[in-house]
Amino acid sequence: MKIAVANDHRGTAAIEQIKAIISELSHECMDFSRADEHPVDYPDMAYLAAKAVSDKKADRAILVCGTGIGMSITANKVKGVRAALCYDELNAKISRHHNDANVLCLSGDLLGTTILRKIVETWLTTDFSGGRHQRRVNKITAIEQGRDPRDV
């Protein structure tokens, strides 16, 4: 898989660890990350990676800011993106298994290296289960298109 990554200045250390995990799992990294801690606005960075997913230039993306909230809000504004903010392995697994999340948002300030690794590995190795969950993802897509999900 091709994984786009991006971060703001508070996600610098975490994104370096994430890029290493992506490489260890034999995935390709599309790197929009910041290598320094000079302030940068998270919407600018989130947009680049989320747009790569939307344009099908990347299969998935991982975004990191201080809390992950800003990246999540921003990424979910991009058509075709289903971004999930995850703080543990269970969130990561369910975001993929049930919601087919194609963007993972993480906190650079609140997650230690061990849990960060577990979340990223779980998210990258969990498949979407489809079935009844596909119907729900279709409803999310309908909302994105301005339609009433009850009509799907």
Annotation says 86 is catalytic: no
Q: In DSSP terms, which residues pair with 6 in a beta bridge?
A: 63
The average confidence (pLDDT) of the chain is 96
The answer to whether the CB of 70 falls within 8 A of the CB of 86 is no
> Is residue 136 scored above 90 in pLDDT?
yes
Give residues with Cβ within 8 angstroms of 89, minimum separation 6. 115, 118, 119, 122
Find the largest Cα–Cα distance for the chain: 47
One-letter-per-residue 3-state SS of 67-135 = CCHHHHHHHCCCCCCCEEECCCHHHHHHHHHCCCCCEEEEECCCCCHHHHHHHHHHHHHCCCCCCHHHH
Distance of alpha carbon 41 from alpha carbon 59, whole angstroms: 24
Give the phi and the psi of residue 49 in degrees, each rounded to 5: -75, -40
- In sign, the C-alpha dihedral spanning 26, 32, 37, 39 is negative
How many residues in the chain?
Answer: 152
pTM recorded for the entire structure: 0.95
Choose, from 27, 97, 98, 133, the residue flagged as catalytic. 98
The crossing angle, in degrees rounded to 10, of helices 113-125 and 89-97 is 20
Annotation says 65 is catalytic: yes
Range of the domain at 94: 2-151
pLDDT digits (tens, 9 = 90+) for 24-83: 999 999 999 988 778 899 999 999 999 999 999 999 999 999 999 999 999 999 999 999
CATH number at residue 89: 3.40.1400.10
Choose, from 29, 65, 86, 105, the residue flagged as catalytic. 65
* pLDDT at res. 36: 76
Q: Domain count for the chain, please give it.
A: 1
